[in-house]
Amino acid sequence: MCGFTLVSVDLSMLFCNLDHMSTSSTTAQVLSGVPVVAGVAYAPVIRPGARPPAPPADDTEINEADRPAEVARMKDAAAAVADRLRERAAHATGVASEVLATTAALAQDRAWLGDAEKRIRAGNSAEQAVSGAIAKIADALARAGDLMAERVTDLRDVRDRVLAQLAGLPEPGVPVPDVPSVLCAEDLAPADTAGLDPALVVALATTLGGPTSHTAIIARQLGIPCVVAVDGLDAVPAGVPVMVDGGRGTVTVSPDATSAARTVEESRRDAHRIAQWTGPGRTADGHPVAVLANVQDGAAARTARQTPAEGVGLFRTEMCFLNRDTEPSVDEQARIYGEVLTAFQGAKVVIRTLDAGSDKPLKFAGHRDEANPALGVRGVRISFGNPGLLSRQLEAIAAAGQATGTDPWVMAPMIATADEAKTFAAQARSYGLTPGVMIEVPAAALLARHILEHVDFLSIGTNDLAQYTMAADRMSSELATLTDPWQPGVLALVEMTARAGAAAGKPVGVCGEAAADPLLACVLVGMGVTSLSAAATAVPGVGAALAAVTLERCRAAAQAVVQTASAADARSAALAALG
């Protein structure tokens, strides 16, 4: 019933059970998007400064004698932009500083600067040359897709900064507000979001962007509510008060001020309750559910150890080697894996074998060019043509287990058939390891009971399961509503997998982003999922949500959700069942 994106608050009260929303204002509108960071904020909108206009295509040709000076003007502008970004990087910390430094480096990137110089020497103005050179590279990146395409926003941001510098205009980007504000934009460039002060920018909302976009990453780091892919957000002008609910994925335009303030206060109390949760994971009536962390290296594991996470449900090993040209030796791999095992000594650690390919290509995995890398030789499929890569990794994992006195579980990504699971399990067992597989391909979910004949556990990767079930690229911001893990088609496959695990008496975890959503986590437990693994920052929220509901309520929510036909209805059904 809540499938439409623009409804009056009173209608949302009636149909969507969003019972905390304002009731007194008939002008308020609720815009729906994809929730990214939970929490509620209420403040006026600010918008990034206008981008400089594109230079006219029929610009007059620069005289040959003036071209060297024009090249110097272009290079000076790029250098000034890079200097300013580096200066901001020096005063920022963490991811913000890295993002600003990376954008500064992009402003000095030889590929586009060289092309722009050539264009000026052929008669273009500096403005035309910058636009043309960056458009050419951005097009190539967009065609390459996946991670490459994500750099397009960064490059266009650099272009606009250089064009503004050339025109003597103020730097485009986010203004520093006088009062706490909600930053709304079509999309936010990394350099816009890096260095934001969370005391002044209290929430983010964008028209584009997906749950893994830069906007989302920065919002998570700042801990401010964030909703992306918000339909209708472009029509909300600066200065209008809005309430952003990052848990529900809504932006309420001009809500009743009193009830908005009350909702913000309730959300603060929630945040306090979450901070008090210390584990272990269990429902209010004591049903145990392991709440685990997703990590990508030893440093992340040590950080996760500071949270109440009971172990590691997903160690993405490929992330350790993204910059490597050659395969790390067994000894080096064993040392790296050992760091994570040591951080969680005595706890459960699930190590995933290399999920190379698609958005995470590894130079040493020998990927061939493919038209559709997400549907190509990725994950466990790499080992079909290169079995040594997998066996050396299993050897390293076994060695790390021995060196640390631990018993790591190991799982393969992108399993599609029971035969693949059987082959992987036999190999893992030959190294004394406990084998499992990820359920990310719909065929694997449908045949989970056969796969369970060979392995000791399953772990559902809802990010890829949503991508493949909905036939929608998980990196596409335009398709973010399709790759929402609340899509009932995706949840039906999760339920089927959990049921197969219960019938076989074997554990079934969820380690995709779905496990980081406290409301959905309760539904997953109601479906029979036995563990939840999420980003370390999401662990307390998930644990606290489970602690507040009984298993019976979770089961009722799961039953209600599987009856629905849309992601919005699934959320509403869960809210109604869980209260």
Provide the token pair at 27. 């002008």
- Tell whether omega for the bond before 172 is within 30 degrees of 0, i.e. cis: no
Q: Does 313 bind Mg ion (CB under 5 A)?
A: no
Active-site residue (options: 16, 214, 522, 554)? 214
Q: Which of 88, 316, 348, 571 binds ligand PEP (CB under 6 A)?
A: 316
Residue 119 vs 348, nearer CB to ligand PEP:
348
Selected binder of Mg ion within 209, 357, 461, 543 (CB under 5 A): 461
User: How far is the C-alpha of 361 from the C-alpha of 319, rounded, in Å?
Assistant: 10
Is residue 117 close enough to count as binding ligand PEP by CB under 6 A?
no
Nearer residue to ligand PEP within complex by CB, 160 or 355: 355
Q: Which of residues 419-448 bind Mg ion (CB under 5 A)?
A: 440
| 553 φ/ψ sector (left φ>0, alpha ψ -120 to 50, else beta) | alpha
d(CA 407, CA 422): 21
- Which 514-553 residues touch ligand PEP, going by CB under 6 A? none
71 membership: H or E segment, kind and range? helix 67-91
Taking each helix axis from N to C end, the angle separating 67-91 and 110-121, rounded to the nearest 10 degrees, works out to 160
- Is 25 in contact with 202 (CB distance < 8 Å)? no
Interaction mask 79-98, Mg ion, x per CB under 5 A: --------------------
Residue 464 Cβ vs ligand PEP, minimum distance, rounded to whole Å: 3
Q: Distance between CA 45 and CA 182 in Å, rounded? A: 5
CB atoms within 10 A of CB 375: 12
- In the numeric block, the tokens 């490459």 are attached to 148
211: contact with ligand PEP by CB under 6 A: no
Start-to-end CA distance of the chain, whole Å, equals 18
Three-state SS for 498? helix
Which structure tokens are listed for 70? 């024009």
What residues numbered 429-448 form the site for ligand PEP, per CB under 6 A? 440
Least Cβ distance, residue 414 to ligand PEP (angstroms) = 9
Task: Extract the tokens encoding 407.
Answer: 């018993």
Q: Which of 512, 518, 541, 543 binds ligand PEP (CB under 6 A)?
A: 512
Which of 464, 473, 495, 517 lies at the binding interface for ligand PEP (CB under 6 A)? Answer: 464
Whole-angstrom distance, CA of residue 48 vs CA of residue 238: 10
464 binds Mg ion (CB under 5 A): yes
With contact defined as beta carbons under 8 Å apart, do 210 and 476 qualify?
Answer: yes
Residue 430: partners with Cβ closer than 8 Å, 6 or more residues away: none
- Answer with the entry of Mg ion, ligand PEP, none that 462 interacts with (C-beta below 5 to 8 A by kind): ligand PEP
Q: Quickly count helices (H) and strands (E) in the chain.
A: 22, 17
Q: Name the binder of 511 from ligand PEP, Mg ion, none, CB < 5-8 A by kind.
A: ligand PEP
Closest distance to Mg ion from the beta carbon of 435 (Å): 18
Among 213, 259, 307, 463, binds ligand PEP (CB under 6 A): 463
Nearer to ligand PEP, 159 or 360 (CB): 360
Given 160, 187, 256, 355, the residue binding ligand PEP (CB under 6 A): 355
Cα separation, 534 vs 542, in Å, equals: 9
Give 160 or 440: the residue with its C-beta nearer to ligand PEP. Answer: 440
Nearest one of 239, 228, 202, 217 to 41, comparing CA atoms? 202
Residue 511 lies near ligand PEP (rule: CB under 6 A): yes
The answer to whether residue 511 is catalytic is: yes
Three-state SS for 204-255 is EEECCCCCCCHHHHHHHHHCCCEEECCCCHHHCCCCCEEEEECCCCEEEECC
- Is 464 annotated in some ligand binding site? yes
Residue 87 annotated as part of some ligand binding site: no
Reduced to 3 states (helix: H, G, I; strand: E, B; else coil), residue 265 is helix
From 114-122, 159-167, 184-192, 459-467, give the range in contact with Mg ion by CB under 5 A. 459-467
Residue 245 assigned to a binding site: no
- Write out the two tokens for 213: 């976009």
User: In whole angstroms, how close is the CB of 342 to Mg ion at the nearest point?
Assistant: 26
The residue at minimum Cβ distance from Mg ion is: 464
Q: CB under 6 A: which stretch of 13-21, 365-373, 461-469, 497-505 binds ligand PEP?
A: 461-469
We find the least distance from the C-beta atom of residue 327 to ligand PEP, in angstroms, to be 20
* Nearer CB in complex with ligand PEP: 440/517: 440
- From the list 77-85, 342-350, 459-467, 524-532, the region that binds ligand PEP by CB under 6 A is 459-467
> How many residues line the site for ligand PEP (CB under 6 A)?
10
Residue 50, Ramachandran bin (φ over 0: left; ψ between -120 and 50: alpha; else beta): beta
Identify the CA nearest to 44 among candidates 227, 267, 253: 253
User: Measured between alpha carbons, how far is residue 128 from residues 79, 82, 172, 328, 507 in Å?
Assistant: 18, 20, 18, 45, 59
Q: Minimum distance between the CB of residue 543 and Mg ion, rounded to whole angstroms? A: 23
Q: 463: annotated binding-site residue? A: yes
Inter-residue contact 248 to 35 (CB < 8 Å) = yes
Contact assessment for residue 549 and residue 570, using Cβ atoms and an 8 Å cutoff: no
Among 131, 221, 427, 462, contact with ligand PEP (rule: CB under 6 A): 462
Of 184, 320, 511, 522, the active-site residue reads 511
Q: Which stretch binds ligand PEP (CB under 6 A): 187-195, 203-211, 283-291, 455-463?
A: 455-463
Please state the residue numbers annotated as binding site for phosphoenolpyruvate.
Answer: 316, 352, 463-464, 474
Q: Which residues bind Mg ion (CB under 5 A)?
A: 440, 461, 464
Please state the residue numbers annotated as binding site for Mg(2+).
Answer: 440, 464
Q: Which residues bind ligand PEP (CB under 6 A)?
A: 314, 316, 355, 440, 461-464, 511-512
Task: Just list the catalytic residues.
Answer: 214, 511
Please state the residue numbers annotated as binding site.
Answer: 316, 352, 440, 463-464, 474
